[in-house]
Amino acid sequence: MNEKRAKSVLEQPPASEAPEGYVDIEYVVEPNYAGWRLDRYLGEKIRRLSRPRIQRIIQRGLVCERRLKPSTLVFPGLTFSIRRSLSTEPETPTELPIVYQDDWLLVLDKPAGLPIHPTARYQKGTLVSLLRERFGERFAEPAHRLDRETSGLVVCGRTTEACRVLGRLFLSRDVHKEYLAVCEGHPPEDTFFVDAPIAEGTELIRIAVRIDRAEGKESRTRFQVLQRFVRDGAPFALLRCYPETGRQHQIRIHLHEAGFPLVGDKMYGPDPGYFDRFSKHCLEPEAWERLRLPRHALHAGHIAFPHPGTRQAVSFDSPLPGDLVDFMDGKALAPGPGEGSESAA
């Protein structure tokens, strides 16, 4: 291991404590967002909110030692909070398995149901909050994001330099990622490829994406069938997914486009209205039965990239989690109501 050390992830003095009945949702700007407008940065972190709404939140005032405007250019380590009234927070997993740790990196195996970053609905029950609670402030910062329901590998940087290098690697597509997915149906070919441009937003769900060959950005995913199986008389398959680009919800929308949606996907599954009703806590029992799983069946199982300190290739793996193994084995499951809407994190 290269002993070269970068400065610890920037430390900031704590903001004033939120009054009773309120909570401060803290943000610390990562090195790869340097030079972004503040409203664009928050739009990336809170994708469910429109840019005009984010601008209004900033204009009303953020908890920060300096005055911030929507046009403020952010810099690494800038710390601020959004103060909001406290509401009952849904329960989320509390385990945080460590796959690898050194002076530069922390690789975690995120359980399904755990958001990565704090949101309006999730403040304490997030990967970032658990990291700070267990290891202290600025111990590590996630270098990328997974959807709340997606399980698997999350890479975190432990120094400012590591965060900067990792951010550049993810943006430049120098990170090789593989996912495991359980889809509906039996794809006829053992390998297939989806090349379908992705654009943000749909008529029903603002945070969803859509296939749009006129306005979408290039998006390509290769799929390999690992196993075909039948459960309760219906066909399913275990796939290995190789995203060649890194668009939001790419694997999910591409499987929907191919006609083999993810099991349990409320946004790109059998009914476009499921997600709205799920968000409002009124998804009917028949819908849960049709979804078959309480979360979408996607797992980040492999990741490889140059180490930010040594520049040597490193790779990490996570096995298929128990709920998906049980589904494939035909074991009894108990799908039921989830809590809250899906986080973009």
Active-site residue numbers?
A: 147
CA distances from 46 to 53, 117, 257 (A): 11, 9, 26
32 DSSP assignment: G
Using an 8 Å Cβ cutoff, are 123 and 23 in contact?
A: yes
- CB-neighbour burial class of residue 212 (10 A; exposed 0-12, middle 13-18, buried 19+): middle
CA distances from 181 to 36, 152, 319, 321, 327 (A): 34, 11, 12, 11, 12
Distance from C-alpha of 151 to C-alpha of 179, rounded to nearest angstrom: 10
Give me the phi and psi of 324, to 5 degrees please.
-75, -35
| Tokens of residue 3, six digits | 């002993």
| Tokens of residue 312, six digits | 């040597």
